[in-house]
Amino acid sequence: MPPGWYPETKKETLREIEKYSGALTAKGKIGGVIPHAGWYYSGELAASVINALKEREPELVILYGGHLPEGAVPLIVTGKSWQTPLGEMTIETGLADKVKEDFGLAEDLSSDNTLEIQLPLIKYYFPTAKLLALRLPESLEAAKLSEGILEIIKDKYKKYIILASTDLTHYGSNYDFAPAGSSNKALAWARRNDESFIELAIRLKTRELLEHADKNRSACSSGAVAGLTSAVKMMGGKAGSLIGYKTSYDVTPSDSFVGYAGIVY
């Protein structure tokens, strides 16, 4: 991971996470949507979602990332472990190998922030949990794959959570996307765009949130959220709760900015 996404040493990482100790507004049992910008921008929001799931004490954390377009082959992390500043995150290799083989997935050989930036937080809150990490394309294939994964693990794991890693609207010249121009209306437009995607995610509208993200560029990794919302429905969940929303503009005002949401189920 390039320097700056999160602290490099154990001491610095612990100090940063321990700063994320605000009061929780909701608790979850199944999983959540977490942002994946540098911790300076969205680390506290991601930590709040993961912390809200702490009482679940999961044996397995399923982490869905993205940055894959519709039609791309889903990618899965294999190998024994993933190094973090807080120690090794153990990968559920048997499960990863079976999912890869059963669904014809490709091995993820990149260092993508949708997954990696979450690992120190997961290791901190769930130090003994194993990890199953995939990146999903922005299509209903993500939902179908997620449902298939749950069928495989349901008899082996009783305590697990699912995390979907996505940022929201990327607005401005840095992202070649400015439908409301560069006026004061731009931030309001982007926030409304984010709110529409968030509402669909909260209501578990899997197909609709994929369509909204495709049409309005309201999420950079909508496939991850599609996988999560499909799993939530399969596990009997009815809706999510928004525990926080912010933009990078709130931290460093600029003509280009990104939205972040934390949702728990």
Q: What is the structure's pLDDT at 154?
A: 87
- What crossing angle do the helices spanning 206-216 and 185-202 adopt, rounded to 10°? 160
CA-nearest of 118, 125, 131, 111 to 33 is 118
> CA–CA distance from 56 to each of 60, 78, 125, 127, 146 (Å)?
11, 25, 11, 13, 20
CA-nearest of 106, 28, 13, 21 to 68 is 106
CA-nearest of 177, 265, 263, 186 to 220 is 177
Q: What is the structure's pLDDT at 20?
A: 87
Q: What is the structure's pLDDT at 46?
A: 95
Q: What is the structure's pLDDT at 2?
A: 46
Question: What string of pLDDT tens digits covers the 265 residues of the chain?
Answer: 445 688 989 999 999 999 887 656 678 999 999 999 999 999 999 999 999 999 999 999 999 999 999 999 999 999 899 999 999 999 999 999 999 999 999 999 888 999 999 999 999 999 999 999 999 999 999 999 999 999 999 889 999 999 999 999 999 999 999 999 987 799 999 999 999 999 999 999 999 999 999 999 999 999 999 999 999 999 999 999 999 999 999 999 999 999 999 999 9
Which domains, from first to last, does the chain contain?
10-264 (3.40.830.10)
d(CA 232, CA 245): 21
Q: What is the structure's pLDDT at 215?
A: 97
Q: What is the structure's pLDDT at 24?
A: 63
H-only helix segments in the chain: 10-19, 39-52, 93-103, 113-116, 119-125, 140-153, 185-202, 206-216, 222-234, 248-251
Q: What is the structure's pLDDT at 25?
A: 67
86 beta partners:
none
Q: What is the structure's pLDDT at 118?
A: 96
- Side-chain half-sphere of 81: how many Cα atoms within 13 Å? 13
Contact between 9 and 228 (Cβ < 8 Å):
no
